[in-house]
Amino acid sequence: MKTTTISNSKFRRKSIVAFLVFLGCFVLAFFSWGKLNSAKPKDGTPAPLRAALETNESIFYGLFGNRLTQTYPASMAAKKVRVNGNIGMNKDFEPENWKLQVIRKPGDTLFISLEEIRSLPKTEIIFDFKCIEGWDQISHWGGVRFSDFIKKYGLDEQAAKQFTGFVTPDGGYYVGIDNKSMMHPQTLLCYELNDKPLPMNQGYPLRLIIPVKYGVKHIKRIGSIYFSNIRPPDYWHERGYDYYCGL
């Protein structure tokens, strides 16, 4: 076997080079970190990081915008479904007085009862629900496809806009979603969990189920819906999260 010997002076030179490279990287990292932290925030996140999120969004939207989420047999669905988050779900809510408000344009609102929504064609989905905090759970939901709902109420012109906005009855939680994801065949206005009416803490009377997105976008207890070409305000986006939240 051939061995190589390095002379002392060569060794010293290599050590000095290595140290300088290390020092350079350290100084660069130190200043970048400072710069990142002092950067003007955009929607709760330093602007350079926000720009990175938006670049990811455009790449993933192009690559995966239309694919179907994997589904599972009903036997795999959780019987005890986790409850996570209750923002915008005040105790003083009166379900008996609830109607879904669909704002077709300012000053022109449709009021739709739960019975009417239940009378539309039902779609069920069993999929792996994923929360951004790191947990996931296979769960079984039922409701009307958003695209069927749009057709039934003649809202094509509204859905041709870029975004749909959702707000809880008390205004406490709100999300905005691109309409390409809203019109996806697995996106539901959901009123059933495991073949039973949605429990109150899971969003009774109506919640969103949108498997192409993380849990944050699956707004519980929908009060009103509106359409817009500018991004509707979004609760967790305002607190620094990604707007798109795609999976």
Ligand X SMILES: Nc1nc2c(c(=O)[nH]1)N[C@H]1C(S)=C(S)[C@@H](COP(=O)(O)O)O[C@H]1N2
The residues that touch Mo ion, with contacts defined as CB under 5 A, are 131, 215-216
Task: Kindly state whether residue 82 participates in binding ligand X, applying the rule CB under 6 A.
Answer: yes
Structure tokens at 47: 């602007």
How far apart are CB 83 and ligand X at their closest, in Å? 4
Structure tokens at 39: 């950067």
Q: Which residue of 50, 88, 98, 211 would you call a contact of ligand X, by CB under 6 A? A: 88
Residue 108: count of CB within 10 angstroms of its CB: 8
Quickly list H helices, the chain: 8-38, 47-64, 114-118, 146-152, 156-159, 179-182
Amino acid at 130: K
How far apart are CB 116 and Mo ion at their closest, in Å? 30
How far apart are CB 12 and ligand X at their closest, in Å? 56
Beta carbon nearer to ligand X, 39 or 78: 78
Give the distance from CA 227 to its chain's centroid.
17
Residue 113 φ/ψ, nearest 5 degrees:
-80, 165
Of Mo ion, ligand X, none, which one does residue 194 interact with (CB within 5 to 8 Å by kind)?
Answer: none
Q: Are 191 and 205 contacting, i.e. CB atoms less than 8 angstroms apart?
A: yes
What is the chain's Cα-based Rg? Answer: 24
Residues 6+ apart with CB under 8 A from 152: 120
How far apart are CB 200 and ligand X at their closest, in Å? 11
Task: Kindly state whether residue 239 participates in binding ligand X, applying the rule CB under 6 A.
Answer: no
How far apart are CB 191 and ligand X at their closest, in Å? 13
Q: Which residue of 50, 145, 184, 218 would you call a contact of ligand X, by CB under 6 A? A: 218
Q: Which stretch binds ligand X (CB under 6 A): 1-9, 42-50, 87-95, 101-109?
A: 87-95
Q: Which residue of 50, 53, 77, 89 would you call a contact of ligand X, by CB under 6 A? A: 89
Structure tokens at 30: 């130190």
Place of tokens 């002379």: 7
Beta carbon nearer to ligand X, 154 or 199: 199
How far apart are CB 235 and ligand X at their closest, in Å? 8
What is the binding site for ligand X (CB under 6 A)? 82-89, 131, 168, 173, 202, 215-216, 218-221
